[in-house]
Amino acid sequence: MLEVRGVDTYYGNIRALKEVSIDVPGGSVVAIIGANGAGKSTLMKTIAGALPQRSGTVSFLGEMITGLASHEIVRRGVALVPEGRSILSRMTVRENLEMGAFTRRDGKKTARDMDRVMERFPVLKQRAGQLGGSLSGGEQQMLAIARALMSAPKLLLLDEPTLGLAPLVVADIFAIIREVNAAGTTLLLVEQNVKQAMKVSSYTYVMETGKIVLSGPSRELLQEPRIKASYLGKA
Amino acid sequence: MFLEQLINGVTLGSIYAIVALGYTLVFGVLDIINMAHGEIFMFGAFVGMLIVSKAGAPLPVAFLGAVVVTAAMGLLLERFALRPLRGRPGASHLASLISTIGVSILLENIAHKIFGSGNHLFETSFAEIRFEVGPVTIYLVQVVILLISLLLMTGLALWLARTRAGKALRATAENLETAGLLGVDTNRMITATVVIASAMGGVAGVLVGMAFNYINNQIGLSMGLKGLAIIIFGGMGSVYGAMAGGLILGLSETFVVAYGSSGYRDAIAFVAIIVILLIKPQGLFGQAHAEARR
């Protein structure tokens, strides 16, 4: 579904991604793990069109999306929930959700999805009229995911969705990831919570200093000694 | 007497508010002051003057003409003075501020070349029509100015609050990257904002011509400074702050002239602004913390 081939992305003169190639098959959950500064968020933003790549290609559903602006990529069905959530703090919860559906022109279906989202996230329904900035961290993350879902994406990119959240909320977010995937949406997940991320995903990529250094089916990688030592805290 | 001054103050204030709205909209999406806004406003006034006084056409045509010309100027400003500098690696976003200063100097000189430096009469057919309501004299011009500004302000507020495009503009103003990720074509949104802001400046130009009966090529500068003061006072990027700030400045100026001395008109108005800013540094409707912006 998503094919990234040999992508280089630079911040000024710093090469943040070095010939990164990944595949996300339709219907799957794929995880990207790695330390801070490994380039995971850069890769997500590059795929979503928020950062320009210098070389390499990205294709989605067989169509090249390399170099398209982010609003054109959303329109093709790729939604990014960026790290740090980026809630529109001066707009209400409902307006945030409406903005999620900005690219859609199917009024009735959108209204039905809005009801569904409110049903699934009762806390957002309760706070529909409040400003986004007044929500707690966990609520903002729920809103960010719900907002991305409002675009009815075929591929959902989640960047560190559990960062800084309480354990109960983390469990809730992984439950949502499973539900969204079961409902037919493909997911690419960047996570610090390595164990959970590998359990929910079918395939895992490991990034270090801008490169993919290891990849394989998540179940196999969980047994890999290098993974155990570096990411799961077991010798 | 008091009521008449109140009406004068509200009339002047609503014009200030519309000028300030032009600044605040652009500041919202680009984080810069559009220093050319005052001069675009001046061109609106001159186009209105040509249509009303020279061609003798009715007022609605003057508004239409001013809006078309200033909207086109806004479009050109964005295309040639702002967009080329946006997102260039290493370019400070203040570069576009400097470029708007350049445009303002250019426009002022073009106006000087075409219209000279003297005053031009802005004659409307109904300038002398007035009603006596009890002891109060009201000019028809004032009523028209008030109606148009109120319409424009409510229209803008409703558009921003209710419509798809209005919400997209607010999202763009709050965070360019997020708006893009949600599917908003932010470049188009920025262009639309500069065009709308400039057209509002054009309307304000015609209103000023109607209110003062004369215009010259310096009004852009003086009105521009007041517009700037108002948005700092009302809270940078705040639409309601611009409206409230405009009204307060218009009222305080009018009352200072009526009950004090006309020589102190600007001084007292600006002292009032400084005092309020000392008490509430972020402005009347400003965001309390810096991180709320981008």
What are the chain B neighbours of A133 within 8 Å (beta carbons)? 292
- Tell me the backbone φ, ψ of residue A222, rounded to 5 degrees: -60, -25
Segment A158-165 shows an average pLDDT of 92
Q: Which two tokens stand for residue A9?
A: 């992305």
Residue A131 covered by a domain: no
Average pLDDT value for chain B: 88
Segment B3-8 shows an average pLDDT of 89
User: How does pLDDT run across B58-97, given as a tens digit for each residue?
Assistant: 899 999 999 999 999 999 999 999 998 887 777 787 888 9
In total, how many domains does chain A have? 1
User: How does pLDDT run across A89-135, given as a tens digit for each residue?
Assistant: 999 999 999 999 999 988 899 999 999 999 999 999 999 999 999 99
Q: Is A88 close to B178, i.e. CB distance below 8 A?
A: yes
Segment A26-43 shows an average pLDDT of 92
**Proportion of chain A in helix, strand, coil states, percent, rounded to 5:** 40, 30, 35
User: How does pLDDT run across A49-71, given as a tens digit for each residue?
Assistant: 999 889 999 999 999 999 899 99
State which residues form the domain around A10: 2-90+151-231
Q: Is B174 close to A89, i.e. CB distance below 8 A?
A: yes
Segment B221-245 shows an average pLDDT of 87
Q: Is A11 near chain B, with CB under 8 Å? A: no
What are the chain A neighbours of B168 within 8 Å (beta carbons)? 99, 102
Eight-class DSSP state of A65:
-
User: Which pTM does this prediction carry?
Assistant: 0.88
Note the pLDDT of residue B290.
Answer: 42
Q: Give the domain CATH number at A33.
A: 3.40.50.300
Q: Is the pLDDT of residue A157 over 50?
A: yes
Residue A136 covered by a domain: no
Residue A96 covered by a domain: no
Q: Is the pLDDT of residue B105 over 90?
A: yes
ipTM: 0.91
Q: Is the pLDDT of residue B292 over 60?
A: no
Residue A108 covered by a domain: no
Note the pLDDT of residue B167.
Answer: 95
Segment B117-127 shows an average pLDDT of 84
Segment B268-293 shows an average pLDDT of 72
Residue from A86, A92, A149 to probe the interface with B (highest B Cβ count within 10 Å): A86
Note the pLDDT of residue A58.
Answer: 95
pLDDT confidence tier of residue A149, bands split at 50, 70 and 90 = very high
Of B54, B36, B46, B195, the residue nearest B113 (C-alpha): B46
pLDDT confidence tier of residue B288, bands split at 50, 70 and 90 = low
CB hemisphere CA count around B119 (13 angstroms): 8
Segment B29-40 shows an average pLDDT of 92
Which of A82, A89, A133 minimises the CB distance to B181?
Answer: A82
Residue A208 covered by a domain: yes
DSSP H/E element including B139:
strand B136-139
- Nearest chain A Cα distance for residue B171, angstroms: 7
- Tell me the backbone φ, ψ of residue A29, rounded to 5 degrees: -115, 125
As a whole number of angstroms, the distance between CA B49 and CA B55 comes to: 9
Residue A39 covered by a domain: yes
Pairing of strands A78-81, A155-159: parallel
What are the chain A neighbours of B89 within 8 Å (beta carbons)? 12
Residue A162 covered by a domain: yes
Q: Is the pLDDT of residue A234 over 70?
A: no
Taking one residue from A and the other from B, the number of pairs with CB-CB distance under 8 angstroms is: 70
User: How does pLDDT run across B153-176, given as a tens digit for each residue?
Assistant: 999 999 999 999 999 999 999 999
Note the pLDDT of residue B60.
Answer: 92
Of B194, B192, B193, B226, the residue nearest B208 (C-alpha): B226
